[in-house]
Amino acid sequence: MDFVALLSRWTHILSMTFLVGGPLYAYLVLATPLGGMAAAERRKWEDAAAARIRSIGLIFITLAIASGLYNLLNKVNLPKGYHMWFGIKMLFVLHIIAVTVLLGRAGVESAKRARWSAGLAVSGAIVLLLSAYLRAMQL
């Protein structure tokens, strides 16, 4: 068994649970109770969450890129069309990275934050589908 490949796959999936699972949870679960809060209280809560996203988000972005590059560089005999779908996945990944960095900023309007999280949840779901497809292409 290739232990490094296993570790790299685990790291990639772990990063993905934070980068995609976080916004999905924010959009589907947290948005409702947050919407019922007074504006000032909500902003305080969101700014505290942003500080956590800033530190933890950067770690998972770095891990996702490093493990993803390792996965990619170890691929051999890729089927026709693989690189095109991989490139499309990267466009959505760039969106996820950019918006995760933006969500780490303090003082962002609550409505904007909610819109960004919804966009991330959609991009995340698409990236998961594309990743599953990339895998299925090789089976």
Q: Does 99 bind ligand HEM (CB under 6 A)?
A: no
72 binds ligand HEM (CB under 6 A): yes
Q: Which stretch binds ligand HEM (CB under 6 A): 6-14, 31-39, 46-54, 112-120?
A: 6-14
Instruction: Locate 99 and state its tokens.
Output: 């918006």
CA dist., res. 50 & res. 61, Å (int): 15
Closer Cβ to ligand HEM, 35 or 138, answer by number: 138
User: Of the candidates 55, 61, 49, which has an alpha carbon nearest to the alpha carbon of residue 16?
Assistant: 61
**Under rule CB under 6 A, residue 127 binds ligand HEM:** yes
Separation of alpha carbons 134 and 88, rounded Å: 11
DSSP element (H, E) containing 129: helix 110-136
Which residue is it, tokens 């500080």? 51
96 binds ligand HEM (CB under 6 A): yes
Among 8, 11, 117, 131, binds ligand HEM (CB under 6 A): 131
Selected binder of ligand HEM within 49, 53, 64, 120 (CB under 6 A)? 64
Q: Which is nearer to ligand HEM, 24 or 37 (CB)?
A: 24
Report the first-to-last Cα separation within the chain, whole angstroms.
Answer: 19
The correct pick among 14, 58, 126, 128 for binding ligand HEM (CB under 6 A) is 128
Among positions 7-46, residues that touch ligand HEM (CB under 6 A) are 9, 12-13, 16, 19-20
CA–CA distance, 52 with 69 (Å, rounded to integer)? 26
